[in-house]
């Protein structure tokens, strides 16, 4: 198991030691979507959900989640994030597209923070709309860009 960074030679879970890593600028971008009934998306766009601005509240939830990823994911390093942006866009006829960009200058990457931001934003959309559409689906949460650090650049779909 020595090729997996979160396990020691005996197979025990460990927090990765990043003390010898260079401090570099790092960025990660993650995306996902919430698929719903067209009528649900229409109500979101019209502000008719009754609980407030669904996309605005989900944006704040995702930003807050990125800042707390280390509290949710075992062995994830606490990071002083330098930027978190979250874009939620209505994609007619039946989805909300979500994209998070997270930046840090540090010794470890921010992929988990970006993925957490998208996931929690999607869960917030679901929570705010579930009373009228329990059939919503959270789909395609994935890392689409990672740059910086020893392993360099990754671009996904």
Neighbours of 52 (CB within 10 A): 9
Question: In which element (H, E) is residue 111 found?
Answer: helix 111-129
- CA distances 2 to 7, 14, 108, 151, Å, are 7, 11, 19, 17
d(CA 3, CA 8): 9
Neighbours of 150 (CB within 10 A): 9
53: which 2 tokens? 């601005």
Active site residue 127: yes
Catalytic residue among 127, 133, 140, 147: 127
Please list the alpha-helical segments (H only) found in 16-108: 38-46, 54-67, 69-72
Q: Is 126 helix (H, G, I), strand (E, B) or coil?
A: helix
The residues annotated with a catalytic role in the active site are: 127
């Amino acid at each position: 198991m020595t090729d997996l960074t979160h396990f020691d030679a005996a197979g025990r879970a460990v927090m990765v030691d990043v003390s010898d890593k260079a401090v570099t600028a790092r960025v990660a971008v993650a995306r996902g979507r919430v698929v719903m009934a067209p009528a649900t998306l229409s109500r979101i766009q019209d502000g008719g959900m009754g609980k407030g601005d669904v996309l605005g509240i989900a944006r704040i939830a995702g930003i807050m989640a990125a800042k707390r990823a280390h509290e949710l994911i075992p062995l994830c390093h606490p990071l002083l994030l330098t930027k978190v942006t979250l874009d939620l866009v209505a994609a007619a006829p039946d989805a909300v597209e979500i994209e998070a960009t997270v930046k840090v200058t540090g010794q470890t990457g921010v992929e988990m923070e970006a993925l957490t931001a998208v996931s929690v934003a999607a869960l917030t959309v679901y929570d705010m709309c579930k009373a009228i559409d329990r059939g919503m689906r959270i789909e395609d949460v994935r890392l689409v860009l990672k740059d910086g650090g020893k392993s360099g650049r990754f671009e996904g779909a």
